[in-house]
Amino acid sequence: MAALPLLVVDDDPVSRERLREALEGTGRPVVPVGGGDEAVAWLERNVPSAVLLDLVMPAPDGFEVLRRLRADSRLTDVPVIVATAVESDEDIRRVFASGADDYVHKPFRTAELIARVRGQLRMSEYVERLGRRERDAQTLLELTRTLASSLDMHEILFTVVHRLAELTGVDRCSIVLVAQASLVGHVVASSDDPRISDLPIDLEKYPEIREVLGTGHAVVVRDAGVHPLLEGVRRDPSHVGFASLALVPIQHEGRPAGVLFLRTRERSAFSDSDLELVDLVAHATAVALRNARILQALRDDVEAIGFARVEAERRVQRFRRYADFFESAADGMLVLDLEGTVMFANPRARELTGQEEEVIRGLSLRDLVIDAEAQRADELLAGFQAGVYPRGVDLSVRHRAGGTLTASASFGSVLHEERLVLVTLRDVTLERRTALELSKTKEFLERVIESSVDGIVYADLEGLVLLYNRAAARMFGWTPEEVVGRMNVRRLYPPGVAEEVMRLIRAPSTSGAGRLEDHRVDMLGREGQTIAVVLSAALVFDHGVPVGSVGVFTDVRQRLQMEAQLARTQEELRIRERQAIVAELAGAAAHELNQPLTAVLGYAELVRRQLDPATPAHAAAGVIIGEAERMAEIVRKVGKITRYETKSYVGEARILDLEKASSEESRR
So where are the chain's domains?
Answer: 6-130, 150-298, 305-428, 452-555, 567-667
Q: Tally the residues of the chain.
A: 668
- The answer to whether the CB of 34 falls within 8 A of the CB of 63 is no
Which DSSP state fits 106?
Answer: S
Predicted pLDDT at 2: 43
Closest-CA residue to 256 (of 231, 224, 289, 223): 289
Predicted pLDDT at 141: 62
Q: Residue 42 burial (CB < 10 Å; 0-12/13-18/19+)?
A: middle
Superfamily per CATH, domain 150-298: GAF domain (3.30.450.40)
Q: Which residues, at least 6 apart from 119, have a Cβ–Cβ distance to it below 8 Å?
A: 102
Determine which helix (DSSP H) or strand (DSSP E) holds 567, and give its type and residue range.
helix 557-610
- The answer to whether the CB of 168 falls within 8 A of the CB of 274 is yes
What Å distances lie between residue 602 and 526, 531, 623, 639, CA to CA?
80, 73, 14, 21
CATH says 6-130 is which class? alpha beta
Report mean pLDDT in 10-residue bins for the chain, 668 residues. Answer: 75 84 80 88 88 85 86 85 78 82 80 80 73 62 59 74 83 87 86 87 89 90 86 77 87 84 80 78 74 54 53 57 65 85 86 85 87 88 86 89 88 68 88 87 86 91 92 92 93 91 81 79 91 91 89 89 88 85 77 81 86 86 86 79 50 45 51
Please tell me whether the peptide bond between 237 and the residue prior to it is cis, using omega within 30 degrees of 0: no
Q: List pLDDT tens digits, range 575-588.
A: 888 887 877 777 77
- The answer to whether the CB of 335 falls within 8 A of the CB of 414 is yes
Q: Say how far apart CA 339 and CA 360 lie, in whole Å.
A: 15
Predicted pLDDT at 467: 92
- The answer to whether the CB of 83 falls within 8 A of the CB of 53 is yes
CATH node for 452-555 = 3.30.450.20
Q: Say how far apart CA 95 and CA 258 lie, in whole Å.
A: 56
CATH architecture of the domain with range 567-667: Orthogonal Bundle (1.10)
CATH node for 305-428 = 3.30.450.20
Same fold, 6-130 and 150-298: no
Q: Say how far apart CA 156 and CA 147 lie, in whole Å.
A: 6
Q: List pLDDT tens digits, range 84-133.
A: 777 777 878 888 888 888 888 877 777 777 888 887 788 877 776 665 66
Predicted pLDDT at 477: 92
- The answer to whether the CB of 628 falls within 8 A of the CB of 620 is no
Determine which helix (DSSP H) or strand (DSSP E) holds 550, and give its type and residue range.
strand 545-555
Q: Say how far apart CA 605 and CA 388 lie, in whole Å.
A: 135
pTM, entire model: 0.35
Q: Give me Rg for the CA atoms of the chain.
A: 43
Share of the chain residues as helix, strand and coil, in percent rounded to the nearest 5 = 50, 20, 25
Give the distance from CA 485 to its chain's centroid: 27
φ and ψ at residue 308, rounded to 5 degrees: -65, -35
Beta bridge partners of 244: 264
Predicted pLDDT at 148: 57
Determine which helix (DSSP H) or strand (DSSP E) holds 138, and give its type and residue range.
helix 110-149
- The answer to whether the CB of 422 falls within 8 A of the CB of 445 is no
Predicted pLDDT at 646: 43
Q: Say how far apart CA 235 and CA 233 lie, in whole Å.
A: 6
Question: Residue 471: how many CB atoms within 10 A of its CB?
Answer: 21
Predicted pLDDT at 318: 56
Closest-CA residue to 642 (of 594, 598, 600): 594
